[in-house]
Amino acid sequence: MKTQRPNGILYILISGFMIAFVGALLFLWIFFSSMRAMHQTTRDLYEHPYAVTNAALQLKTSLYQIRSSLLFATLAQSKGQALQDTIQFIRDQESLLEKNIRIIASSYSGDKQQISKLQAELQALYHIRAAILEKLQTGHYVEADRIIEINGSPKFVEIAKLTESVLAFAQQRANAYVSESQKQLEGHTRKGLMYATLLLTLFLIVSVVLVWRMYRLHAEVDKFAFTDFLTGIANRRRFMFELESEIRRSQRYGSPFSFAMVDIDHFKKINDRYGHLVGDLVLQNFCLKCVSALRTSDMIGRLGGEEFGILMPMTDLHEAARVIERLRSEIDHSVVTENGQQIHYTASFGLVASSHHHLDLSLTQMMKSADAALYNAKQQGRNRVYIANGSL
């Protein structure tokens, strides 16, 4: 039993460490899973809905830039280097258009026919743009303006509507991605809180069990340190401590107390005749009789072998003699039965009482007086109470 209890505490400590270790791993897993999920959601947002949104916005900007450049060149009747610069600018914007339309085509998750139609409309716009630039280069500004008015503007409007439709769908998908990301984050948070609560509960349970086991262990250690293993009463160490404390209390406050030393008569003969097991039963029976007969304020302790001490705080000699005599009588009428045999035993008592006239009373003096009274009780025939000189 002495090795099992420390091992039990060791197992609890190991269990607590394992729970803490698993909890830390679980927390890290939840944390990195959440970060990975958020990273994946963010990447998906920028690779798909946000990419389409940005490309559609840039596409609209390029369209307006191209349209504005054509209108300005027509109205200003640009020619020479100014016209060449306008043509180069329009080509640059068309390159951006192609780049953005490829991004939209690769990342768009809506109706693909819209993208096909947008690409077709852009090709038609390129032809209109080519016709307008041809008229500008030949100086036919009125005809260029007519082409812009009749063919270019409606085409720009149609392409703008298609771009707005693509942009609206991409923004809707982006909002859906954000909402889904928030749900995932909330889900991870709930799981994290649930796991944290579970682990905290387990940790608290293990801590409570560990503290309780340690408390029980210390309680048992204290019990074995101050309790006689065989009889369950106070051992010599505990009894002498209480007796010395009572002596100091009596010296300080002048309160009376009584002390008796007890010896079971002819105990060695009982051991020799019936065996040590029966002797142990007699000791246990004697202690039970003392505990039941004495008052709750009294204390009995085993001083060694078959010798015991009885401490009666706040008790004068007259009251102590009455209590001890009643105890002696009960023991005299007690019988221990073992294997059909009835073993009768008696006890001798040496009683001593303190007095406020002896403030210099010491533990050694008290023990000597009680021991001398016990010796006289034995000398006078045993099974009796002898009072040491009436009082100390």
Q: Are residues 30 and 165 in the same domain?
A: yes
The answer to whether the CB of 313 falls within 8 A of the CB of 354 is no
The answer on 28 and 177 residing in a single domain is yes
Q: Is 167 part of a structural domain of the chain?
A: yes
Check: CB of residue 300 under 8 Å from CB of residue 258. no
Other Cβ atoms within 10 Å of 28 Cβ, number = 10
Q: Are residues 82 and 174 in the same domain?
A: yes
298 and 177 within one domain: no
Q: Which domain-ending residue is among 149, 173, 199? A: 199
* Sign of the dihedral through C-alpha 261, 262, 263, 265: positive
Q: Which domain holds residue 378?
A: 236-387
Instruction: Look at the block and give the residue holding tokens 């007519």.
Output: 146
Please give the average per-residue pLDDT across 244-272, as a whole number: 92
Question: Which is higher by pLDDT, 377 or 159?
Answer: 377
Claim: this prediction has a pTM higher than 0.75: no
204 within some domain: no
245 and 188 share one domain: no
Instruction: Say if 223 falls within a structural domain.
Output: no
pLDDT tens digit sequence for 134-172: 888 888 888 988 888 888 888 888 888 888 888 787 777
Task: Tell whether 284 is covered by a domain.
Answer: yes
Mean pLDDT lowest among 35-49, 146-160, 285-299: 35-49
Q: Any idea what the CATH number is for the domain that residue 351 is in?
A: 3.30.70.270
Tell me, yes or no, whether 218 lies in a domain: no
Find the length of the chain.
Answer: 392
Same domain for 195 and 241? no
Residue 226 lies in a domain: no
Token pair of 100 as six digits: 């953005």
Is residue 126 predicted with pLDDT exceeding 70?
yes
Domain count, the chain: 2
Domain with residue 18: its CATH number is: 1.20.120.1730
Which positions are catalytic?
Answer: 306
Asked if 365 and 318 sit in the same domain, the reply is: yes
Residue with the two structure tokens 């609560």: 197
| Same structural domain, 18 and 124 | yes
**Between residues 372 and 25, the one the model is more confident about:** 372
pLDDT in the model for residue 297: 92
Residue 173: CB atoms within 10 A of its CB come to 21
Work out the percent of the chain whose per-residue pLDDT is above 70.
Answer: 81
pLDDT (0 to 100) of residue 270: 93
Q: How far, CA to CA in Å, does 207 sit from each of 23, 147, 213?
A: 15, 86, 10
- Same-domain status, 195 and 243: no
Percent of the chain with pLDDT over 90: 34
Condensed to tens digits (0 to 9), the pLDDT of residues 241-255 reads 999 999 999 888 888
